[in-house]
Structure 1
């Protein structure tokens, strides 16, 4: 009897394995089965959903059921039980990385323009960068602060050149020349006359700041120009005057007949040989009304002239007037930072 009971048990246990707990055949789908899937996309955070399949009453065939799938959102914070099937998929772009694999992303960084002097930013190796290439301001085109001896004329320098007339970037004497070019009486006013002198010097490679010896009936040369205590010399080195007082005492030591190129502007002497617009007396006063309407009109007016071939009073006054439609030269005197 004991042996018989054991045999029965052995037969019953395998039989139980052939049936599902609900009494259906092995492998049949549970009438209500739950699966959870989690998907992670690059465009949003994780999304968890529960899919519940309920078989139709008439759709069961040989243990296979076909039903309607209903997706119900599940709280992302919910805990998934160990016996639920969970599949996690990470998607980057159009590619899907299976669980357990590692996806690497390559980032390409596009570099901006290379640093350069003049971009307004102080980069490595630069001492300054003001965003321009103006040599006379506080930062040169080489992105270095100005200094005496760099060959550039800065706002706090009278000169920066090699020669006996430039010591520690200060003039030993002031330079004087007569322009090589001639122009009518419409000079663009006093400012325009000064620009002519500055341009003539620059074109000839002469460092310094220059203004024109010319007056109007409201503003005189004596009021516009610096009264230097240093000598005034032509570009060939000849002394014109020992100081402003000597320049305006009525006569000159030498004629101002050398132009910005170092060439003689007068081949003969006398009024009419080398006419220069002045409208100025020997002392620098400008009480004359013959100034081509403030050097702004080249019409049927008159402008008072001097003579560059002479060193007496006629160098600036005494040779009469010239029609403003005619042409004449200008005297240009260097201006220092200090008298």
Structure 2
């Protein structure tokens, strides 16, 4: 009985060994019939693990997208794309030069350098990160200078982008003005770099007789017109005038005009007896009619009752009457009137009483 049992065990062992030999793993194919992984390395009990680029995330890899494209989010080294890796990540980066130098055309954030990015690049003088053309750095990333065509606020008065000194803006970026020594075309006739009114250039106009300014060494006089008989002739030479036409006091108060009434003034307070000329708001001469009471700022206004001299150089005696309650000539003063061409002068004494006044009219 024991011998039979032993023989059966031997037969069973022999059959198992034979079956095991038939299904033993092939050293080339891998694990048996199911060892297709010997070619792909994925079958159970397969060969060496697959390399980067097979699309399967492996230990030690940051990513694996199964391709060799260097412009997407995963490099051929199975590293995640990032700024500074030397590869331009399409749609994300504008550039990638593989360094952290910020002023070489590609910034440290992998953006292409441009004027206005607040980083000074090659070819730029400055970069203040704005497009303001009135500060120290223009929108072209050039340092503001006179002549660049932009007005530097607080520094330049103008900037027309040229070096022409005959237009409205000079080379120093100053606005052209009379007296700067440059003739502004279409505006000035001359510019002698001074404000003298006695030389050949007056207010940046060529000096001429009749401009109202006496040109030294050339004109004897200049009264602003070309008329004769007013002391200065049309050639800017002195007319032959009476002495009193050359030296006189001036009466030009607005309240001396016959159209004024209000205050009460008396010409017994004149500076003194002498030759006077009516000018300005007072008028140009004395009236030849009786003004109403209280006119020209007094009680009894004065007027001339005799004719004026008819010709230049003529002097006549006349009477000034003062109009008051008892008549248009209640008081009077003996005066003289001299014809000076375009104006008259009057020899006036102090009034006999107060309040009397010599009136003016236009």
Larger strand share, 1 or 2: 1
For the pair shown, the structure with the greater C-alpha radius of gyration is 2
Whether the TM-score (by the shorter chain) exceeds 0.5 is: no
Q: Which has the higher contact order (CA 8 A, sep 6+)?
A: 1
> Which bracket does the TM-score occupy, shorter chain normalised?
under 0.3
Q: Structure 2 length as normaliser, TM-score?
A: 0.23
